[in-house]
């Protein structure tokens, strides 16, 4: 049984996403992210410390949603992204450039991020 997907708006800058992002929940994920208002200073943080990306469709859709959102922001920060998402963002070159996505890692993941940079 999959964990339900939950998006909690902490404030206009922080969204906490928990649960499983998979083929059954991905459309809800896209809708919830799309409905979040862009703050006036155009900075958003996603906390994914309690989220799991479960399949390829969910990964591709998550990357595309994040990429589209980052194009409208000054900066997009992702805290504790699942490793498959970190690797995909790195491989696609989305961690550098004009609309770079920034990764904030949990303490346990710090050694891993140094190998990516």
Q: What is the structure's pLDDT at 116?
A: 52
pTM attached to this predicted model: 0.82
> What superfamily would CATH give domain 6-116?
STAS domain (3.30.750.24)
Q: How far is CA 3 from CA 50, 80, 83, 86, in A?
A: 11, 18, 19, 22
Domain coordinates in residue numbering, the chain: 6-116
Q: What is the structure's pLDDT at 107?
A: 57
Q: What is the structure's pLDDT at 64?
A: 95
* DSSP label at residue 92: T
- Residue 76: burial class (beta carbons within 10 Å; 0-12, 13-18, 19+): buried
In order along its 117 residues, the chain shows pLDDT tens digits of 456 888 887 788 898 999 999 999 999 989 888 888 877 788 999 999 999 999 999 999 999 999 998 988 889 999 999 999 999 999 999 999 888 899 998 655 544 444 454
């Amino acid at each position: 049984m999959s964990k339900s997907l939950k998006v909690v708006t902490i404030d206009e800058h922080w969204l906490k996403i928990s649960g499983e992002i998979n083929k059954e929940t991905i459309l809800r994920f896209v809708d919830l992210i799309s409905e979040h208002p862009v703050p006036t200073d155009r900075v958003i943080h996603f906390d994914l410390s309690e989220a799991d990306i479960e399949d390829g469709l969910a990964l591709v859709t998550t990357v595309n949603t994040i990429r589209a959102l980052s194009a409208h922001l000054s900066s997009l920060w992702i805290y504790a992204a699942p490793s498959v998402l970190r690797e995909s963002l790195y491989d696609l070159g989305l961690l550098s450039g004009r609309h770079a996505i920034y990764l904030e890692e949990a303490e346990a993941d710090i050694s891993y991020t140094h190998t990516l940079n």
